[in-house]
Amino acid sequence: MRNTAIILAVVTLILLAIAYITGGFELVTEGFLTAGMTASQALLMIFAAFLVIGQLQTLVTSDMIKGWMQKYAGGRGIAISSIAGGLFPGGPYIFYPFLAGFKGKGISFYLLFSFVSGKQTYDFTRLPLEISLITPWIAILRNILTFPVPFIMGLISWRFFPQGVAGASWEEGE
Amino acid sequence: MVVTTIIFFIIAGILFFLNIKHGRHMEGIQAGLRQLIIALPVILLALLLSGFLEVLIPEEFIKRWLAQEAGFTGVILGTFGGMIMAFGPYASYPIIATIYGSGAGLGTTISMLSGWTLLGLSRIPFECGFLGVKFSLLRMTLHLVFCIMAGTVAHLFDLWFL
């Protein structure tokens, strides 16, 4: 997060300099005003979005997700894995080690595949931010258009890569 | 925006009551506020950056490469643009919103958003490290197809209905 802030600050400073060179103080002021206007409109919504995110992350635990993953298989398993992926709390530094923990524990490759795809496509804790920082209708349209992706990914891997990628067995630890 | 904010507060309230059952309702509020405090500087910087982008991006560039008129080129550019935007959601979403607000087509915007969501390069090191390079390559290849499809459908929707 700190690195992101530094990169953003540097890029913003560069843009500020370009604005000053090309349009003078007037364009710089316009940039600040545009940013201020957006911030004043969005901040309360962002606050509410984080309240949702916190409650959701507390409600759905990793153990709950683990239980679902081990219980279902086949088409139903793909559907459950996709949704479970979307519900899984935490960023990549929690998500991927959690998944790696399934290696060699009898979870089919296609379930893992739809789980990863579900996390990236849905990520329900990211949805409030998507709605508040972009616009509700664009966020909803994107979610509708990509909704089937994790299911299709699961079905493709179930049909074409039942043993994992390049013949490596997921169950035995790829 | 007001309606969305109200909806969020209602959802937060429902989740709060669901968490009361497990005695974790306050933990939920704390978790949310903690994340907000951590993310707020990045959000504010991203909004500032977006403000400058909005006043600096030349109209001609948007029209030629990203607007509805750009067609399939916009979808491809959007997909790869979203993919290389190696920031978290706090920074990426305001930037995508600005590009859309500046006149980018629906197809470009949706493919950029899908590209960031499904192909984001910032997650690749984790994925390769924990699940393997082959896993990551297979997922990226399939997701790339879906991003382009989503952008194309959005572009056609924009062309025919909006």
Of A130, A129, A95, the closest CA to residue A115 belongs to A95
Residues in chain A closer than 8 A to B58 (CB atoms): none
H or E element that contains A71: helix A62-71
Q: Which of B45, B50, B138 sits opposite A38 (nearest CB)?
A: B50
d(CA A47, CA B5): 9
Q: Which of residues 52-91 of A touch B (CB under 8 A)?
A: 52-59
Is A174 a residue whose pLDDT tops 50? Answer: no
Kindly report the nearest CA distance between residue A165 and chain B, in angstroms.
6
d(CA B69, CA B32): 41
Structure tokens at A96: 């991927």
pLDDT digits (tens, 9 = 90+) for B39-66: 888 888 888 988 888 888 877 787 777 8
pLDDT classification of A103: cutoffs 50, 70, 90? low
Is A168 a residue whose pLDDT tops 60? Answer: no
Q: Please give the backbone phi and psi of residue B87, each rounded to the nearest 5 degrees, phi first.
A: -110, 170
Kindly indicate whether the ipTM for this predicted assembly is greater than 0.90, answering yes or no. Answer: no
d(CA A55, CA B139): 30
SS3 B127: helix
Q: Which of A5, A53, A161 sits opposite B35 (nearest CB)?
A: A53
pLDDT classification of A106: cutoffs 50, 70, 90? low
d(CA B64, CA A84): 41
| Look-up of token digits 């490469």 | B65
A147 in contact with B at a CB cutoff of 8 Å? Answer: no
pLDDT at B148: 96
A8 in contact with B at a CB cutoff of 8 Å? Answer: yes
d(CA B55, CA B108): 20
pTM: 0.82
pLDDT digits (tens, 9 = 90+) for B127-154: 888 888 888 999 999 999 999 999 999 9
